[in-house]
Amino acid sequence: MKPTDHIRDILDECQGMPPINVQVAIMDVRRELDKIDAIVHNSTLDPVTGLPTRRVGNYMLERAATHFNRGEVLHRFVVLDVDDLKEANDMNGHAYGDAMLANLGAAMLTSVRPTDFVCRWGGDEFLLILEFPFDLDSPVRSHEEGEIMRRIAAETFARFSWGSATLDEAGSDGIDDALGRADSDMYRMKNAKKRLKSSRR
């Protein structure tokens, strides 16, 4: 259902009104509604990957914090960053880089579980929100998370680094802390890859 559907229903009821100026006005309003629907669509879905945007991701983060506060489920935040995207764009063009992002996005969608969430966080970064039962043991969570990441890696030609952290407290402070820890974890992996690459030269 589109955000403007209720307004369109009202316009449909007015469609049979005879004055031509009313008909013209209705056509003008419909055109404006089409523009509004397009804006809403573009603000919630990334045009390159088809994944939800950061705006939707922020909503899902708040939702995760609410569930944590209620003691219902536990969430792991995974920050995923494409390796060497700039170099790929410089060597092969931005169309290739976009294809890489789209391929990775598709791999993520087919690899996560129905209870998980994935979005394009911005640029070459993606965010996964993995949901687990509150009482699930940490080693089991880590194993399931690792399986998801292995499935993603097997389904995409994009190379990536990732890091994760558990949401430990509700509210925006808890979200920022978990995202910061996941981001630091991701950069440790990325820097380790760079050191290994340099040592082989």
Q: What is the pLDDT of residues 31-89, one digit of tens each?
A: 654 544 454 455 689 999 999 999 999 999 998 988 887 777 889 999 999 998 888 88
pLDDT confidence tier of residue 18, bands split at 50, 70 and 90: low
CB 79 within 8 A of CB 125: yes
User: Domain map of the chain by residue range?
Assistant: 5-44, 54-199
Instruction: Say what the pTM is.
Output: 0.77
Mean per-residue pLDDT over the chain, rounded: 83
Q: Which residue has the tokens 């950069």?
A: 187
Beta-carbon contacts of residue 15 (< 8 Å; ≥ 6 apart): 23, 26
Which letter does DSSP use for residue 45 in this model? Answer: B
Q: Indicate the class that CATH gives domain 54-199.
A: alpha beta
The Cα 121–Cα 156 span in angstroms is: 18
Q: What is the pLDDT of residues 149-179, one digit of tens each?
A: 999 999 999 999 999 999 887 667 889 999 9
Sheet harboring 117-122: ordered strands across?
117-122, 125-133, 73-82, 160-166
Task: Tell me which residue has tokens 């966080």.
Answer: 121
Q: What is the residue type of 172?
A: S
Question: What are the two backbone dihedrals, phi and then psi, of residue 113, each rounded to the nearest 5 degrees?
Answer: -90, 165
Planar angle of CA 93, 94, 97, nearest 5 degrees: 100
The pair phi, psi for residue 162, each rounded to 5°, is -150, 155
Give the type of residue at 151: R
Strands 117-122 and 125-133: antiparallel
- Encoded tokens for 47: 């045009």
Count helices and strands in the chain by DSSP H and E runs: 7, 4
Active site residues: 124
